[in-house]
Structure 1
Amino acid sequence: MDVGLYFDLRNPPGWRTDWKRLYSFTLEACEEADRLGIDSLWFSEHHLFDDGYLPQPLTFASAVAARTRRARIGTAVLVAPLRPAAHIAEEAAVVDLVSGGRLDLGLGTGYRPPEFDLYGASIARRYGATDARAREIRAFWDSGKLLPPPAQDRLPIWMGYQGPKGAHRAGLLGEGLLSANPELVQPYREGLTAGGHDPASARMAGALSVWPTDDPERDWPAVREHVRFQNDSYRKHMVEGTDQPVPRPVDPERIRARGITTGFHSLLLATPEEAAAKVREFVGDAPVSTVYFWASLGGMPEEMIMRQVRTVVQDLAPLLRD
């Protein structure tokens, strides 16, 4: 398996730093990870979060592309229904050219009403709209209608679908499935077959909730506070714009106890050796080509983030590649 790092550029009120420094430091972290040999760097998207969650991942990816040399650069995910297909196709092509052909385009449906209201998009039709964007983007690139073209002959598109129905939809499209959940292999391959694609072409990649460290008990008190914020933030913003109440604050100890999953509601804090074994056990024989891990949990200090970057690249990644 290849190994990546995942960034969302949060700047929480409780740990707020200068915005320019946050962005310049994240570029430095990406450069360092690239220099050390990380396989990929991934960027997420949200809007109207009170911590300034990265709103435009392809814009930031272009800056990363100009500052790195070898790592692949991915969106995990770009909220597809918020933008016209032509816009995504053109912007992705520019990033691919700037990077010399290193872009992976991950598309997702989104789920927050305020984001759809902000862009004047329909949340009710988001699944069909996301499927349509993938088809239209691929058609634009195949036709050569939009110039300039991407650097890659077939720029990888990944569908950020997490349930069985979504995995089947990704298969129908013949695109990659942006999930490392082995339970989705069967519906994904069934979708590939139903869509006229070779089921042996199945390819998966995704985030796993792992924080490697040489001393889990030493680091847990500090990691715990950022885990608490990150989970409470997701849960609070998840219900925004709905009639659902704000969920109760999380218990970080319960989050840690759940161990490794593909969601944000758990965290495996372990040595690189234990983490690698758990990742291999979790993934099993699923066709997962890439797994990526948080480079930072919201509001972490720079020295903690850089230590995580180096631990993932130098200590965990070699074990997973082997």
Structure 2
Amino acid sequence: MRFGLFNLMNQHGLEQREVFEGTIECARLADALGFDIAWFAEHHFSNYSLCPSPLMMAAAVARETRRIRLGPAVIVAPLYNPIRVAEEVALLDQLSRGRAVLGIGSGYQRFEFDAFGADLAERQERMLEIWQIIDQAVHHNRFQHAGRMYQLPDVPQAIRLYHPRRLETFFVSWSAPTIHHAVATDAVPFCTVGWGDTAALTSLHDHVARQYAEAGYDLAGRRFAAQRYVFVSDDKAELMKVAEGIRYAGRCAGHMRVGAQVLDGHVIQDRPVAGEPTLEAILAGLPVGAPETVAERLVHEIRTIGITDLSCFMWPAGLGSRAVLRSMERFGAEVMPLVTKALAADTRQPADAVA
């Protein structure tokens, strides 16, 4: 099991300085705890996320860490010039001494696309071409592309990857052409359901599996990355604050998805969305709570859904960084060993049965 740390960098009742400095502290701790990847979100124009440039955040954290890999989750590809983003991905790999990973997506917030002058209807096609351009630039060190969206001359990409290898890539987009490219490059589907419970995540996994099947592939046996809220605490009052933070971020995302957010400056008003879960349902449906509860819920989802890469969303909106770091320390000391032990037992079981 590969553990990742997802950093949304939501500013809800916090000073911006705490968001930025706390994110770097969390990444340092994740590095020390043995997490595999630190991911950084990309969003614009609101307190939902103070990270408009995940590659810049990853480069900053590269100087503060030693082992953990770093990447965007995800680059909103249609908002980029393909040459610039390809060069910056390679630059991140050099600055991190070979620790860059790529997360790429097509985006979904009309609010952001309109401000950038981008066409939301073209997002899937643009994302795929940009992904193809990045692949060629970082693996063959050439820019040459003749697509419907982008035409690039045959010029060199000066910055090489730190180690010759295939850049590990995670993606969020389920069109058949995108899946074809993903299978050809061993890319990993990356899914999240926000405040959704196990049933919601299972449903999304099954949807992705159907998209793979329609494209002519079987998702079974392939890597599958899922993002889950994770928080470790025995304090009921603190857990209620966790649920409120998860609900706030979910409300923000729900409003922005349909362009219905109401802003006070850059702050999104905390307004309900249709069909949202109760705070009690959020606490019951996510891997949050005492260490044993968190481990049990994670192991169940890993086993039943086939998760190979777990991205842990560990900073609910509104909580201070000290509480988040305390939860992370408990996750590393108490939850990760339980999960690892349970999954190791699964792999030993066939051999034990034969014996």
Question: Equivalents in 2 of 1:164, 1:209: separation in Å?
Answer: 26
Letter in 1 for 2:250: N
Give the TM-score normalised by the residue count of structure 1: 0.82
1:16 counterpart (14, 17, 20): 14
Contact 2:93 2:100 in 1 (8 A): yes
Aligned to 1:297: 316
Q: Give 1:171 shift.
A: 4.2
Aligned to 2:151: none
Look up the SS of the partner of 1:106 in the other structure: strand
Q: Is residue 141 from structure 1 mapped to residue 141 from structure 2 by the alignment?
A: no
Aligned to 1:121: 118
**Cα deviations by residue, 1:214-235 (Å, 9 ceiling, x for unpaired):** x163532322332232222222
Contact 1:114 1:241 in 2 (8 A): no
Aligned to 1:33: 30
Q: Is residue 90 from structure 1 mapped to residue 87 from structure 2 by the alignment?
A: yes
Cα 1:139/1:190, change in 2 over 3 Å: farther
Give the TM-score normalised by the residue count of structure 2: 0.75
Q: Give 1:285 shift.
A: 6.4
Cα 1:191/1:249, change in 2 over 3 Å: closer
Q: Give 1:276 shift.
A: 2.3
2:58 counterpart (58, 61, 83): 61
Q: Give 1:59 shift.
A: 0.5
Q: Give 1:183 shift.
A: 2.2
1:160 counterpart (172, 178, 194): 172
How many residue pairs get matched? 305
Q: Give 1:250 shift.
A: 4.4
Contact 1:171 1:193 in 2 (8 A): no
Question: Equivalents in 1 of 2:66, 2:83: separation in Å?
Answer: 27
Within 5 A, what are the aligned runs for 1:1-322? 1-12=1-12, 15-17=13-15, 19-145=16-142, 146-152=157-163, 153-161=165-173, 168=179, 171-174=182-185, 175-179=187-191, 182-183=205-206, 186-187=209-210, 190=213, 202-213=222-233, 215=234, 217-240=236-259, 247=273, 250-253=276-279, 255-256=281-282, 259=285, 267-284=286-303, 288-322=307-341
Question: Equivalents in 2 of 1:88, 1:70: separation in Å?
Answer: 24
**Cα deviations by residue, 1:1-25 (Å, 9 ceiling, x for unpaired):** 121211111212xx131x2343123
Q: Give 1:108 shift.
A: 0.9
Letter in 2 for 1:202: R
Mean Cα deviation higher: 199-208 or 272-281: 199-208
Structure 1: stretches of 5+ with no match in the other structure: 260-266
Q: Give 1:283 shift.
A: 2.8
Aligned to 2:267: none
Letter in 1 for 2:166: R
Q: Give 1:317 shift.
A: 2.2
Q: Give 1:62 shift.
A: 0.4
Q: Give 1:52 shift.
A: 4.8
Question: Equivalents in 2 of 1:276, 1:192: separation in Å?
Answer: 35
Q: Give 1:255 shift.
A: 4.1
Q: Give 1:116 shift.
A: 1.1
Q: Give 1:201 shift.
A: 7.6
Cα 1:321/1:170, change in 2 over 3 Å: farther
Larger radius of gyration: 2
